[in-house]
A and B are shown apart, each in its own frame.
Chain A
């Protein structure tokens, strides 16, 4: 066998696998979304848009993404910078901070459910401190603001770790000399951060934002475990139409919407945060 075929032989199994289990279902979902009764139509999208939960799902999903992703970026940047000032114990702190990376959104939802239920730990603390006189419910239909806040907190707790890991990996690639040069020329720590670290970190920030935003649009189990059906989001609606209503067409339409916003967000990040040619 000629040697030039070897690499193709090595990638062939993975390509075949992805063709069957990635590209085929991808095309099928899109076809499913745009077909009704065997003919091409946008009927599924019309039914989706006419549904009561649709507007809520759009507003809730975008609301969470727009609040959570920037907060996570700021928090992860702060954490990455704090680590630089740590002499001993850096490894253990990093391990602790990256633990949520391995925790599923469902488990994270259940963790915060345990804290925030009526007879939960938060209410216990608040009553002991005298802030509340008795159990207060935070996650019900009547308290949309605290329900929203609870989901933001749970997402921050669970998914900041992935941003942190990508940023720390990026910080490690920045040569120490740049920061030292900034110090020599009398830069304040803040100037050093905004003028040296941030620009050099741009590729990592871009990666982290793309990954995090795509995953945030997919948020689903964390919302269902904390808010139940009180807080519809795009993917939970897709799941509901597929699983409870058995209407695959509308479920596919939701999936196509999620794909659309994910790809759009990716393109925006690629364009806005592109590395200037001079820096490459």
Chain B
């Protein structure tokens, strides 16, 4: 039994290292700047002299930072749209039995079987006509179609988990349905909705294809990095790659408690 256990523990440690070491290495490559990228052989320890100079070099990569701001803008908008459109629909699915509910649920699920490429291509033309082309706003609309199904299904399961009786009690005590929702149901659902919002943010922050097709000058971070792949120096690419990873890791940490229940429900 103990031998078996040792094998398991070793496996777990190895797999943790397999996940973490590559992240550590790109962090090294990112903060080291131009000098480390050209170093050979590569050092495996962080530079002892993380001077202001190397950090400044990292912060100075202008394109990376402006595009990161566009990314944040698109991701925040995507988050807002997904919540505004998805939470009411989720509430409807959880609380009302209405003709068409099953069809609606199926329709929402179906959207996930289609690749982004097929949606993003014609939107280029449509967005140019509407003046949405090359704006973070336009990108966020496209990203919302990716995040919305998730927002609807997860918020439906959130509301299902909140006893209907609580709401009815509020009605008995004279709350209007809207007030009962705002004062009783919403506070209970808020942590879950926050997790949905974070996921919408990450989906938008990470998306490459649509963002690249729909922007030219106001590129989001992923679109910018993709467009400079073949021409920019490696240290810029590594710095950008590291910058892409940092918020994702933090966000996964924030939602780690809900990750599994969310996927368990959202995929059934």
Contact = CB atoms under 8 A, between A and B. Distances in A.
6 contacts: A32-B122, A98-B256, A101-B259, A104-B248, A124-B44, A218-B117
Interface of A: 4, 6-8, 10-11, 13-15, 17-18, 21-22, 24-26, 28-30, 32, 78-79, 82-83, 85-86, 91, 93-107, 109-115, 117, 119-121, 123-124, 127-128, 135, 157, 165-166, 168-170, 172-173, 203-204, 207-208, 210-211, 214, 217-218, 220-221, 224-225, 228-229, 235, 238-239, 242-243, 248, 251-252, 254-256, 258-259, 262-263, 266
A4 B256 CA distance: 38
A124 B160 CA distance: 54
Interface string B149-167: 0001000000000000000
B209 A235 contact: yes
B86 A14 contact: yes
Given A6-B96, A25-B126, A104-B244, A224 B252 contact: no
Q: Tell me the dominant secondary structure on chain A's binding face.
A: helix
Given A107-B241, A110-B225, A17 B148 contact: yes
A214 B148 CA distance: 18
Interface in B97-125: 98, 100-101, 104, 107-108, 111-125
Nearest to A8: B98
A117 B240 CA distance: 17
A113 B242 CA distance: 12
B30 to A, nearest CB: 8
Contacts of B142: 21
Contacts of A166: 263-264, 267
A126 B26 CA distance: 18
B176 interface: no
A82 B42 CA distance: 34
Nearest to A259: B118
Nearest to A254: B117
Interface of B: 4-5, 8, 11-12, 15-16, 18-20, 22-23, 25-26, 29, 37-42, 44, 81, 84-86, 88-89, 91-93, 95-96, 98, 100-101, 104, 107-108, 111-126, 141-142, 144-145, 148, 152, 202, 205-209, 212-213, 222, 225-226, 229-230, 234, 237-238, 240-241, 244-245, 248-249, 251-253, 256, 259-261, 263-264, 267-268
B260 A172 contact: yes
Contacts, number: 278
Contacts of B37: 119
Residue of B240, B259, B261 ringed by the most chain A CB atoms within 10 A = B259
Given A10-B89, A243-B213, A255-B118, A103 B206 contact: yes
B113 A114 contact: no
A110 B241 contact: yes
Contacts of B118: 25-26, 29-30, 252, 255-256, 258-259
B123 A25 contact: yes
